[in-house]
């Protein structure tokens, strides 16, 4: 959900396991302004169905499609009816908002837009503007009521960038499971859900990137490789998506409590959870909270494991790692 939304024809190949001749399909393409890769063991190829699913998802939660549900809500369309995807998105966002003490907040859209990371033109930032926008931020200002979203102020807008991509992964994964698929890996824009075994009949192996500024597919380096056993993974970091202006670096992660970009006490947060919508939301939450508060949150909540990369206070050009005990068991030596 980062930029423009484009759809291309899926590329499909079949992989045969040498051990037991079972068929795996590989699908790859572009959606949600990014790439996706899906590998699964199944009875048939589902490229057309998955293409339809991704289109349907965007019509609910893409802020870059004018007639999507979330866009119509942002424009105060009183005739819009919420679907199950939007309701799931809202309820999970509300849950993480409460658990994080407000560090995760989808009503941050006016601020995200003002900094130039959203779906409208960048504004000239100053404290007066930020103060004026903060009155529209806070999930206590919105609620669900009979398939409608009720706002306390019509100028409140929603941004799903920090959670919807993970949700789209779950959406595709649930479809595969409904077709009896027991072995799959779904990856959309780096967010992942894995179940069962890969074509080599081993657990799925997933890499965590080093936090290298402006890195992409051509120059990325792996920090670690972990094995996923029926889990989801999402990573958030400010080392790729930021801009500099007047000697100041602005990251895309906005702290909804202050209205300003989150201080970079964490370079990269990778979260493993049962579902990808949860992993995605808490990866962003950690970037907002910073190291100490993230560690406290992770110790308090069950079902989450984390790999946090943060600057070494004694050597600014170096970094350190914090891992939960569960994450240590997933790391491939």
- How many domains does the chain divide into? 1
CA distance 53 to 172: 7
Return the percentage of the chain with pLDDT > 70, whole number: 84
Whole-number Cα distances in Å, 56 to 83, 128, 284: 11, 39, 25
For residue 300, with 0-12 CB atoms within 10 Å meaning exposed, 13-18 middle and 19 or more buried, which class applies?
A: exposed
Specify if 111 maps to a domain: yes
Specify if 216 maps to a domain: no
CA distance 262 to 231: 28
Q: Give residue 4's pLDDT band: very low, low, confident or very high (50, 70, 90).
A: very low
pLDDT tens figures, 276-299: 999 999 999 999 999 999 999 999
Specify if 73 maps to a domain: yes
Name the nearest CA neighbour of 133 among 159, 151, 152, 107: 107
Specify if 174 maps to a domain: no
**Which domain, by its residues, includes 103?**
57-151
Specify if 133 maps to a domain: yes
Specify if 261 maps to a domain: no
Query: CATH number of the domain that 105 lies in?
Result: 1.10.3980.10
Specify if 125 maps to a domain: yes
Name the nearest CA neighbour of 172 among 60, 44, 280, 39: 39
- Evaluated on CA atoms 246, 249, 252, 258, the torsion sign reads negative
Mean pLDDT of the chain: 87
Q: Give residue 239's pLDDT band: very low, low, confident or very high (50, 70, 90).
A: low
Specify if 294 maps to a domain: no
Contact yes or no for 125/115 (Cβ under 8 A) = yes
Bridge-partner residues for 184, per DSSP?
40, 195
pLDDT tens figures, 12-32: 344 444 444 459 999 998 887
Evaluate if residue 227 carries a pLDDT over 70.
yes
DSSP letter string, 129-145: HHHHHHTT--GGGEEE-
- What's the pLDDT score for residue 251? 52
């Amino acid at each position: 959900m980062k930029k423009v939304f484009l759809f291309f024809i899926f590329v499909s190949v079949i992989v045969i396991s040498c051990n037991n001749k079972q068929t795996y399909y590989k699908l790859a393409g572009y959606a949600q302004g990014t790439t996706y890769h899906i590998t699964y063991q199944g009875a048939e190829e589902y490229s057309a169905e998955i293409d339809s699913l991704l289109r349907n998802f965007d019509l609910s939660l893409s802020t870059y499609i004018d007639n999507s549900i979330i866009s119509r809500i942002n424009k105060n369309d009183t005739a819009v009816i919420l679907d199950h995807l939007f309701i799931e998105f809202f309820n999970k966002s509300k849950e993480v908002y409460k658990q994080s003490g407000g560090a995760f907040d989808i009503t941050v859209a006016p601020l995200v837009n003002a900094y130039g990371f959203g779906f409208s033109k960048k504004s000239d930032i100053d404290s007066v503007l930020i103060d004026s926008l903060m009155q529209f931020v806070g999930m206590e200002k919105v609620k669900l009521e009979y398939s409608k979203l009720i706002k306390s102020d019509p100028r409140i807008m929603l941004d799903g960038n920090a959670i919807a991509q993970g949700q789209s992964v779950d959406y595709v994964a649930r479809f595969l499971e409904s077709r009896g698929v027991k072995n799959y890996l779904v990856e959309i824009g780096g967010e992942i859900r894995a179940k069962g075994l890969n074509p080599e009949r081993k657990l799925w192996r997933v890499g965590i990137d080093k936090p290298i500024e402006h890195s992409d597919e051509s120059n990325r380096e792996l920090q670690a490789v972990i094995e996923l056993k029926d889990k989801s993974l999402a990573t958030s970091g400010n080392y790729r998506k930021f801009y500099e202006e007047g000697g100041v670096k602005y990251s895309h992660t906005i702290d909804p409590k202050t209205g300003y970009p989150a201080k970079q006490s964490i370079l990269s947060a990778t979260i493993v959870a049962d579902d990808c919508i949860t992993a995605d939301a808490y990866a962003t939450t950690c970037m907002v909270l910073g190291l100490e508060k993230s560690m406290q949150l992770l110790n308090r909540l069950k079902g989450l494991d984390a790999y946090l990369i943060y600057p070494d206070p004694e050597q600014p050009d170096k970094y350190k790692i914090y891992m939960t005990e569960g994450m240590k068991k997933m790391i491939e030596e």
